[in-house]
Chains A and B, each alone.
Chain A
Amino acid sequence: MSAAEPPKEPVKYVDATVRLPYRYVAGDYRATYLRALKDKTILGSRCARTGKVFVPPVVASPESFAPCEEFVEVADRGVVTTFCIVRIPVIGREIELPYVAASVALDGADISIYALIQECRPEDVRMGMRVAAVWKPDGERVGSWEDILHFRPTGEPDAAPATYLDRL
């Protein structure tokens, strides 16, 4: 207490990390979808009017507004409809750069889901490439979208554009 003034050398920075630990209520449809992931099953819902299958399942079609009350199982494999190569780190994502973020239309689904593509070189990823989900091992899946670790190429022949261009 005897000093006449504070130290000449100021503290230059303060770290002030803000954390927002959200907890969402999944709701019936999303809960059903997440529970199924635990059993390596991906569910969609079918539009009563158009027959289109939405993944993850939606209560009503955003296109026709008709109810989508029927749950249907889609494949855990499909086709890359569009993608980008990520070369800039994102805080909170610790995937090795570069990596590929893709839209994948699963077989049996009429829209794409977001997917991480791994086990190949980013420059080898292309529209139409066939990919399959790589699941967490049995006993480690908890009913989360992270139960799918990533997608990897299957080596099958590429899909023709006409088969996926309306499922982006």
Chain B
Amino acid sequence: MEFPYRHSTGETIGRFLAGLKEQKTIWGQRVAGLGVVVPPVGYSEVDGSPGGEWVAVRPTGTVTAVAKVRQPVAGLHPVDAPFAFVLVRLDGADTALAHVVTDDLDRLRVGARVEAVWRPDGERVGHLRDIATFRMVG
């Protein structure tokens, strides 16, 4: 069974994705009460106030949660080989981004330091997976 969804991104996530594609830059927004939110949603989830200035965060960060998938289902999961869903708090951000780690799973744990691995120029399409994966550093 297949559901070919196409989501409308909206202004804020749309510009966040354009930053991945065109600038290889991960952007957040400074939001009242929350600090720098990545990915940005355009408003504060605390008080509803509008998102503030755009802030570029680092492509490196710290893993705050791990869910290892040993037996991925082809076509359903984002990776066909064993991988892990992770939350990464990027350096300069105050919230965590959901993404994947595909290598070094045995060493992967909460607190691990990771770095974004970009898809090459010409292969980035304006999607969260323009960051192909996060890899362990150090």
Contact = CB atoms under 8 A, between A and B. Distances in A.
A1 B11 contact: no
Interface residues of B, number: 33
B122 to A, nearest CB: 16
B8 A13 contact: yes
A9 B18 CA distance: 7
B22 A7 contact: yes
Contacts of A9: 15, 18
Contacts of A13: 6-9
A56 B25 CA distance: 57
Contact of B1 (A1, A16, A19): A19
A20 B14 contact: no
Interface residues of A, number: 23
B66 interface: no
Given A15-B5, A17-B3, A19-B1, A6 B127 contact: no
Given A15-B6, A16-B6, A6 B18 contact: yes
Given A1-B56, A7-B23, A19-B75, A12 B5 contact: no
Interface in B7-60: 7-19, 21-23, 25, 27, 54, 56
A87 interface: no
B2 A91 contact: yes
A1 B21 CA distance: 13
Given A7-B15, A19-B3, 11 more contacts: A9-B18, A10-B12, A10-B18, A11-B17, A11-B18, A12-B14, A14-B128, A16-B6, A17-B3, A21-B76, A91-B4
A25 interface: no
A20 B2 contact: yes
A8 interface: yes
8 contacts: A3-B19, A6-B18, A6-B19, A15-B4, A15-B6, A18-B3, A19-B1, A22-B1
